[in-house]
Structure 1
Amino acid sequence: MELKKLTLNDSSIAYIDKGEGKPIVLLHGFCGGSGYWEHVIPALSTDYRVIAPDLPGHGQSNPLKGKSTIENIADQMKNLLDQLSLSEVTMFGHSLGGYITLAFAEKYGGKLNGYSLIHSTAFPDSEEAKKGRQANIEKVNQSGIYSLIDGLVPKLFSPVNQDENYVGTAMEIGYSTSAEGAIDALNAMKDRPDRNRVLETSEVPVLLIAGEQDQIIPTEKTFSVSKANIKHSLIKDSGHMSMYENPLDLISEIQGYLSTI
């Protein structure tokens, strides 16, 4: 799919902009890219305008200037929407993209008519997870991005969904992440706060999607808040990457949710 580019605060950001109608924003996960949504965008763009950026330091987007935090990345997404003259959107965040979505909801809730976390969580990193982030930072510094991606991507998929094409595609997308971008994102994830309060106080429709076989974020970490305006959806036969492992069910859940907004 064609990527467009804008310069925002001295950083270049690449993004897909496809379709017409109410705007929706798709934010990919760590060491991913807008290409993660290649099986999702065609179906959604028949009825909606789909914006899918490469996050800072990922794909063809430059890293942010200065310290990168989840909040700063959310600011950059707000800048992108402002440049595109989009006053209100529905935002979907996969994994890291979900952390950014929650920060966006906290800071710029008035720009959201709804949002979704896909294989993500409002909880902060545990101490063990923080040590893992630091170990991965050291791995990138010592061995480069390829070493990180080779160890990371297969774990994102369910053990029964190790399709070489899908895993290979996700790895190729991962290799396009800059070392600086990966380290920035690891530090940002490691330092992020608990944002369950954002879910608890949200009044717009919220969709929480978990993978039945997710080895990265267990279901209970995704379904952390239950309220009348929050829907829990479990994707069968999927790990952390339902956009590859079970895209039809993911698309169905997204379309059903959007039809209520």
Structure 2
Amino acid sequence: MSKQQTTPDGVEFVTVHGKRRAYIKTGSGPALLLLHGLACDRTTWDAVIPLLAKKYTVIAPDLLGHGLSDKPRADYTLGGYANGMRDLMTILGIDKVTVVGHSFGGGVAMQFAYQFPERTQRVMLVSSGGMGPEVSPFIKLIQAPGWEGVMRLLTLPGIRHVETAGLRALASYGGGPLRKYTRDLDEVATIVESWKDRRTRFAIRHLVRAVIDWRGQIVTMSDRAYLTDSMPMAVVWGRDDQVIPVRHASNAAALAPDSTVTVLPESGHFPHRDHPEEFSRLLDEFVTNSEPASYNRAKFRRLLRNGHAAPPPAALVSVGTA
């Protein structure tokens, strides 16, 4: 049972299974589902939504535990998020989508395609998790004992304002060799700001524990990549990504050899924010030039029975010119 609401600023809400979920829905045409990363929200897509909405129906939700969506004691696993997106698409009357996932959202996108191949036309992964174990040590620290207490202190009003102002000042640093380390700090400042909410900290910590341990990322697509045989896939990465190494783009090319992989220069962990026009062009070309996946149960059964084959040699990774 669901109950839908809309606010004057265009954010819509729907209550599913007693939990309120926020999302943006705009434009018309083929459906794109944009999934944000860990500790972010739908606003990470603000620069590309108007560009994409000229040609597509764009749905950008706040995942449960993020943004304006509820932050309950709930299932924060990839499977739980995939189920939530299936429910949202059903309520909106959308049967099939191209799923675009950034960072943790890339893991959700892959899980959605795995659980609901009959509803997935294509997948685009943006600086995605699930391509290898390595991840920034700062994310690993979220599961550390005492993290919540430290964050509670660091997000007190006076301290938080100094931190976020400092991060944004560093993010505006013009150029030079340090630029690749400072480029994403304005986004980090937004994340720190959101952590003033105890419920948000609770949700993020439970989410991280579901997908990361001290050795790095737990969840990987490598054992199920063969199921992408008939699923069009594109991968976009920022060359200066300091959160998930850019070399994971080559892992993606090896695991899904028919995928198109583009590495954008002068870009960090958020290539869709660093180069919105180029990113929108890449996504549009991907949708325009690929046939949507057609789910065939017999073929899916055959792939599962044959199991995992040895990964092929790494495919060529193209470098963008943004």
The TM-score normalised by the length of structure 2 is 0.71
Alignment of 1:1-261 (within 5 A): 2-123=10-131, 125=133, 131-135=140-144, 138-144=146-152, 146=155, 159-160=178-179, 162=182, 167-168=185-186, 171-172=189-190, 175-176=193-194, 178-190=200-212, 192-202=218-228, 203-226=230-253, 227=256, 229-261=258-290
**Residue type at the aligned position of 1:205:** P
Counterpart of 1:75 in 2: which secondary structure? helix
Distance 1:223 1:241 in 2: 18
**Residue type at the aligned position of 1:160:** R
CA deviations on 1:144-195 (whole Å, 9 max, x unpaired) are: 3848x969x88999942646xx744663365335122221221222274221
Distance 1:169 1:71 in 2: 26
CA deviations on 1:57-111 (whole Å, 9 max, x unpaired) are: 1110012543421111111111111111111000000001001111111111111
For the pair shown, the structure with the greater C-alpha radius of gyration is 2
CA deviations on 1:7-48 (whole Å, 9 max, x unpaired) are: 111111000001001100000111111011110000000000
Question: CA distance change for structure 1 residues 159 and 32 in 2, over 3 Å: closer, same or farther?
Answer: farther
Alpha carbons 2:136, 2:242 under 8 Å: kept: no
Q: Which runs of 5+ in 2 are unaligned?
A: 1-8, 291-322
Larger RCO: 1 or 2 (CA < 8 Å, sep 6+): 1
Distance 2:241 2:106 in 1: 15
Counterpart of 1:208 in 2: which secondary structure? strand
Root-mean-square deviation (CA), in Å? 3.0
Deviation of the 1:228 alpha carbon: 5.1
Deviation of the 1:206 alpha carbon: 0.2
CA deviations on 1:98-135 (whole Å, 9 max, x unpaired) are: 01111111111111110111001323645996853423
Q: Which runs of 5+ in 1 are unaligned?
A: none
Counterpart of 2:209 in 1: which secondary structure? helix
Q: How many residues align?
A: 256
Distance 1:169 1:127 in 2: 17
Distance 1:35 1:131 in 2: 24
Question: CA distance change for structure 1 residues 84 and 127 in 2, over 3 Å: closer, same or farther?
Answer: closer
Counterpart of 1:224 in 2: which secondary structure? helix
Please, which moves more after superposition, 251-260 or 224-233?
224-233
Alpha carbons 1:156, 1:214 under 8 Å: kept: no
